Structure 1
Amino acid sequence: MRTLPTYDDAVLLPGGSRLAVPADYGDLNGHLNVRNYVAIYDDAEWEIFGGMGIGAVEAAAGIGGVFALEQCLTYRREVLVGEEVSSHVRVITRRGALLHVVSYLLNHTRGEVAGSMEALEGWVSFESRRLTPFPDRAAEALDALAAEAAALPWQPQLSGSIRL
Structure 2
Amino acid sequence: MEIEAPFDQHRTEVLPEWIDVNGHMNVAYYVLAFDHATDLFFDYIGLDDAYREQTGGSTFAVESYVTYQREVMLGDPLRITTQLLAYDPKRLHFFHQMYHAREGYLAATSEWLNLHIDLNIRRVAPMPEPIQRRLAAIWAKHETLDIPKEAGRSVRGIDRPE
With normalisation by structure 2, the TM-score equals 0.83
Distance 1:29 1:53 in 2: 39
- Structure 2 residue aligned with 1:38: 31
5+ residue gaps, structure 2: 155-162
- Of 151, 155, 162, 2:147 maps to 155
Query: 1:50/1:92 Cα in 2 relative to 1: closer, same or farther (>3 Å)?
Result: same
Number of paired residues? Answer: 150
Kept in 1: contact 2:24–2:71 (CA 8 A): yes
Aligned 8 A contact 2:5 2:142 in 1: no
Q: Which has the larger radius of gyration?
A: 2
Letter in 1 for 2:24: H
The residue that corresponds to 1:133 in the other structure is 126
1:1-164 equivalences under 5 Å are 13-60=6-53, 63-152=56-145, 154-157=146-149, 158-159=151-152
- Cα distance in 2 for partners of 1:15, 1:139 equals 21
Counterpart Cα distance in 2 of 1:61 and 1:36: 31
TM-score, scaled to structure 1? 0.82
**What is the CA–CA distance in structure 2 between the aligned matches of 1:72 and 1:51, rounded to whole Å?**
22
Q: What is the rounded CA distance, in whole Å, between the counterparts of 1:149 and 1:47 in structure 2? A: 17
Q: How much is the aligned-residue C-alpha RMSD, in angstroms?
A: 2.0
Return the alpha-carbon distance in structure 2 between the equivalents of residues 29 and 142 of structure 1: 40
CA contact (8 A) 1:52 1:137 kept: no
Q: Structure 1 78/147 Cα, relative in aligned 2: closer, same or farther at 3 Å?
A: same
- Percent of residue pairs bearing the same amino acid type: 27
Question: Runs of at least 4 residues of structure 1 off by over 4 A?
Answer: none
